A and B are shown apart, each in its own frame.
Chain A
Amino acid sequence: MILSFISAVAVLSLSYVFVDSALHKFSAPQHFRAALENYRVVPEGLLRPLGQSLPLLEITLGIALLIPAAREFALPGMVFLLSAYTAGMLINIQRGRVDIDCGCNGPARSEGISLWLVGRNVGLVMMAGWVGYFSTLLPTSLGTWSLALASTVVFIFFYHSLTQLRTNNKLQQKVHNHV
């Protein structure tokens, strides 16, 4: 019961994170392309196609995860994307370029890359791993899915609160430096 409940929460949460991320990228394509360019890990010729296809891929993966038949294809795709993003972040952290925008949240809540984001991505990869490992244990009852949905809503609010706190921290530093 508990394993299937956690799997359901992981499926819904992962799906939300990918769809939400894609919608941010769709709403500000220029911002995302600039963020992608700032990573300095993608050849210039690939910037445009990647800038257009990544949001599309993210939303496809997010929706595919909710469809049982497509789940086994969505999970490796999610792990690959998250790993690629994490590698890009680690390369830039290694270069000391932590002030670049991660490109995760759109211009309204821009966030620099950090080990916190790397940790978040590792957490999401682990969630995807959990879903892959326990995919056969997903709940069948409506009650468990309802409970999982309520828990996912709580997860989403806490996820956004943490993101907002990171944005606040950046604003606080700017005000402090200015004063």
Chain B
Amino acid sequence: MYNILIISNLVLWVLLLGLSVLVFALTRQIGVLYERVAPAGALMMNQTLEVGADAPHVPVQDLNSGKTITAGQPAKGRSQLLFFMSPDCPVCKSLLPSLRSAQSAESSWMDVIFASDGELALHQNYIHQNGLEDAQYVSSKNLGVRYGVAKLPFAVLIDEQGIIASHGLVNSREHIESLFESKELGIPSIQDYFNAAPGTSNSNAA
């Protein structure tokens, strides 16, 4: 009888220790799940641009209307989204429907400029193939240089005052929307919002 009690006690201890580990692992797993369901943001990897700084003003010609527009200087009371892409970039092409959709949904406050560089004929063909005739589409190497664009597709959101609200490498619709969220929340990036410890902040992504 005495032996049974000892064995029972030992088994209970093993179970209690196992359950303690299990409870901790489960609480940790819930934390990881919360981190994963949090919206992802565009990767902020640009060394030239700084959120909160004045956007560089670069006059460029719209290939569709022939008019000269100023990238970095939105129309009064409106914001401007510069979407840097290339006709030979498959990810850029896959994002076009999302961008057109965002352009339509946010048309009350934002203009979208499709920015690229290279041969004019290539762009005109691309515009025609993708139904971008009604969009503002510019081809300027200088624009990419001034905005320090190293990888595509890249987007910069400029607010009503001509200040860079958010920017980053965008690979999905979620990344594009994260730029809008960053502007709305008034923080450099969505990742800042989720990662920041109370009273502190960092900036890795938009």
Query: Chain A interface (Cβ within 8 Å of chain B)?
Result: 31, 34-35, 38, 99-101, 107, 110-112, 150, 153-154, 157-158, 160-161, 164-165, 167-168, 171-172, 174-175, 178
A168 and B27: CB pair below 8 A? yes
CB distance from B188 to the nearest CB of A (A): 15
A-B interface contact total, Cβ < 8 Å: 72
Residue of B nearest to A167 (CB): B31
How far, in angstroms, from A16 to B99 measured CA to CA in the complex?
A: 53
CB distance from A161 to the nearest CB of B (A): 5
B199 and A101: CB pair below 8 A? yes
B200 and A101: CB pair below 8 A? yes
Residue of B nearest to A164 (CB): B27
CB distance from B166 to the nearest CB of A (A): 15
Q: A99-B198, A160-B24 are in contact. List 17 more A-B contacts (CB 8 A).
A: A35-B197, A35-B199, A38-B199, A100-B199, A101-B199, A150-B13, A161-B20, A164-B28, A164-B31, A167-B31, A168-B27, A168-B30, A171-B34, A171-B35, A171-B194, A174-B38, A178-B193
Give 24 CB contacts A-B under 8 Å: A35-B197, A35-B199, A38-B199, A99-B199, A100-B198, A107-B197, A111-B198, A150-B13, A154-B16, A154-B17, A157-B20, A157-B23, A157-B24, A158-B23, A161-B20, A161-B27, A164-B27, A164-B28, A165-B27, A171-B31, A171-B194, A174-B38, A175-B37, A178-B181
CB distance from A2 to the nearest CB of B (A): 16
Q: Which of A99, A101, A172 contacts B34, CB < 8 Å?
A: A172
**Does B39 interact with chain A (Cβ within 8 Å)?**
yes
B31 and A153: CB pair below 8 A? no
B200 and A34: CB pair below 8 A? yes
**Does B21 interact with chain A (Cβ within 8 Å)?**
yes
Main secondary structure of the interface of A (DSSP, over half): helix
CB distance from B179 to the nearest CB of A (A): 15
CB distance from B185 to the nearest CB of A (A): 8
Using a CB-CB cutoff of 8 Å, which residues 179-202 of chain B contact chain A?
181, 190, 193-194, 197-200
Return the CB mask of B1-27 against A: 1 if under 8 Å, else 0: 000000000000100110011011001
Using a CB-CB cutoff of 8 Å, which residues 18-70 of chain B contact chain A?
20-21, 23-24, 27-28, 30-31, 34-35, 37-39
CB neighbours of B17 from chain A (8 A): 150, 153-154
CB neighbours of B30 from chain A (8 A): 164, 168
CB neighbours of A153 from chain B (8 A): 17, 20
CB neighbours of A168 from chain B (8 A): 27, 30-31, 34
CB distance from B69 to the nearest CB of A (A): 34
CB neighbours of A35 from chain B (8 A): 197, 199-200
How far, in angstroms, from A38 to B34 measured CA to CA in the complex?
A: 26
Q: Which of B20, B24, B190 contacts A164, CB < 8 Å?
A: B24
How far, in angstroms, from A75 to B28 measured CA to CA in the complex?
A: 32
How far, in angstroms, from A174 to B200 measured CA to CA in the complex?
A: 15
CB neighbours of B27 from chain A (8 A): 161, 164-165, 168
CB neighbours of A112 from chain B (8 A): 198
How far, in angstroms, from A136 to B115 measured CA to CA in the complex?
A: 78
A161 and B23: CB pair below 8 A? yes
CB distance from A138 to the nearest CB of B (A): 21
CB distance from B3 to the nearest CB of A (A): 17
CB distance from B7 to the nearest CB of A (A): 16
